[in-house]
Amino acid sequence: MLPSTEALDFERIIVTTNSLDTQIASIQTQCLTAIEQAHTTQQLESARVTFLGRQGEIAKLMDALKGMSVEQKKEFGPKLNTLKQNCQAAFDEKQSGIDQKQLLAAAQREQNFDVSAYIPNQLTGTIHPYTQIIEHIENIFNSMGFTITDGPEIETDFYNFTALNIPPDHPARDLHDTFWLAHEKNLLLRTHTSTAQIRAMQTQKPPIALCVNGRVYRHEATDATHDFQFMQTECMVIDKGISMANLLAGTQSILRALFEQSNLEIRVRPGYFPFVEPGIEVDITCPFCQGKGCSTCKRTGWIEAGGAGLIHPNVLKSGGIDPNIYSGWALGFGLTRLVMLKYGIPDIRLLHGNSLNFLKQF
Ligand SMILES: [Zn+2]
């Protein structure tokens, strides 16, 4: 052991650390002055290298910390960090000030601005066309006193077929190219939103007025106008004394509101849907040419709007509603087709893809 040497080392460090406070204060003053006096990017960069750089004055002080005792590190470590933060903050502030001045100066020099310049902060999202139309439809139905509802997309045979008057071996089942779920034969992906009718009848008492906007699935090849997944809108009214007159008036009011055309006319043709009797197909005067004839309506002045009818007594019974007391009407149409018509979308695959170039147009 050499006590004299130890004493000497200790004394040297005391001297160094006593002067460290002074050095910290001195470097802070020099650095802040240099930053304050910088008026160009070059002058500011030179101040940064001198004080904040990897081999700058502050880094040198940090190096001195390595030779100190734990107590001294505890005392001077925070002081040096504060020095570095103060100098860095002054540098950042000055730099943004110089950047602003340079931009202004450049703007004054330039007579022509590039109005198409990319401004990343102003990129905003858009609302998907489906969502836009669904909000529109829901507003209309809400204002007419309908409730908005939906049901599960994985359904049982009962809700998708049997309860809707399509028992096993009924030929209408062939019209629905159904996705059966492999492990549980009774489960399927719903082929229409009419499933929600039965669920509503089972849980609500008439009068019932509901609207469903939902995804449905059909096992078919995809092309420009077909997809294995699309959307349907469905509405249903059940009360005492509901008749064909209610159906026609309700359908016309809804379609007029939907296309925002008060003079829109409907015409009906007989149609077959197992869950209604009688069933009708509804056409409307072409909302794009007001019935004059255009390419959308193939010059006929009419376009198909959807299917409707008075709810079949068997369906009411399946839902637990007595068809001797109550009657009802239902209307369904292809929401996907409506969106494609309204926005002039030529290919259903665009609507179901996620191309930003396509979606940002809406
Ligand atoms: Zn037309």
Residues 175 and 258 in one domain: yes
Residues 320 and 353 in one domain: yes
- What's the gap in Å between 247 CA and the centre of ligand 1? 25
Query: Helix 57-65 and helix 70-109: axis angle, to 10°?
Result: 160
- What's the gap in Å between 329 CA and the centre of ligand 1? 28
Could you tell me the two tokens for 289? 């040419």
Count the domains in the chain: 2
For the domain that residue 226 is a member of, what is the CATH number?
Answer: 3.30.930.10
CA-angle at 257, arms to 254 and 260, nearest 5°: 145
Residues 66 and 151 in one domain: no
- What's the gap in Å between 133 CA and the centre of ligand 1? 20
- What's the gap in Å between 55 CA and the centre of ligand 1? 76
- What's the gap in Å between 131 CA and the centre of ligand 1? 25
Q: Which residues of the chain have pLDDT under 50?
A: 1-8, 10-15
- What's the gap in Å between 342 CA and the centre of ligand 1? 12
Residues 219 and 244 in one domain: yes
Residues 53 and 141 in one domain: no
Residues 167 and 307 in one domain: yes
Domain end (from 78, 96, 121): 121
Residues 249 and 346 in one domain: yes
Task: Note whether 1 and 55 are within 8 A (CB).
Answer: no
SS3 content of the chain, % helix, strand, coil (to 5): 50, 20, 35
Residues 79 and 143 in one domain: no
- What's the gap in Å between 65 CA and the centre of ligand 1? 83
Q: Give the β-pairing of 276-285 and 266-270.
A: antiparallel
Domain end (from 105, 121, 137): 121
Domain that holds residue 110: 3-121
Residues 16 and 116 in one domain: yes
Which pLDDT does position 65 carry in this prediction?
81
- What's the gap in Å between 296 CA and the centre of ligand 1? 5
Residues 232 and 111 in one domain: no
- What's the gap in Å between 337 CA and the centre of ligand 1? 15
> Would you call 112 helix, strand, or coil by DSSP?
coil
Domain end (from 81, 97, 121): 121
Q: Is the pTM of this model over 0.75?
A: no
Which pLDDT does position 61 carry in this prediction?
86
- What's the gap in Å between 300 CA and the centre of ligand 1? 7
Which pLDDT does position 122 carry in this prediction?
64
CA dihedral 153, 201, 329, 243 (to 10 degrees): 180
- What's the gap in Å between 301 CA and the centre of ligand 1? 5
- What's the gap in Å between 261 CA and the centre of ligand 1? 14
Q: What does pLDDT average to over the chain?
A: 87
- What's the gap in Å between 285 CA and the centre of ligand 1? 8
Residues 33 and 60 in one domain: yes
pLDDT digits (tens, 9 = 90+) for 255-294: 999 889 899 999 999 999 999 999 999 999 998 888 898 8
- What's the gap in Å between 343 CA and the centre of ligand 1? 14
DSSP result, 284-350: EE-TTTTTS--TTTTTSSEEEEEEEEEEPHHHHHHTT--TTT-EEEEEEEEHHHHHHHHHT---HHH
- What's the gap in Å between 354 CA and the centre of ligand 1? 30
- What's the gap in Å between 294 CA and the centre of ligand 1? 4
Residues within 5 A (CB) of ion ligand 1: 286, 288-289, 294, 296-297
- What's the gap in Å between 38 CA and the centre of ligand 1? 70
Residues 144 and 69 in one domain: no
- What's the gap in Å between 263 CA and the centre of ligand 1? 14
- Element holding 32 (H helix, E strand): helix 3-37
pLDDT digits (tens, 9 = 90+) for 41-100: 888 999 999 999 998 989 988 888 888 888 888 888 898 999 999 999 999 999 888 888
- What's the gap in Å between 287 CA and the centre of ligand 1? 6
Query: What single-letter DSSP state applies at residue 352?
Result: H
Could you tell me the two tokens for 167? 């028992």
- What's the gap in Å between 265 CA and the centre of ligand 1? 13
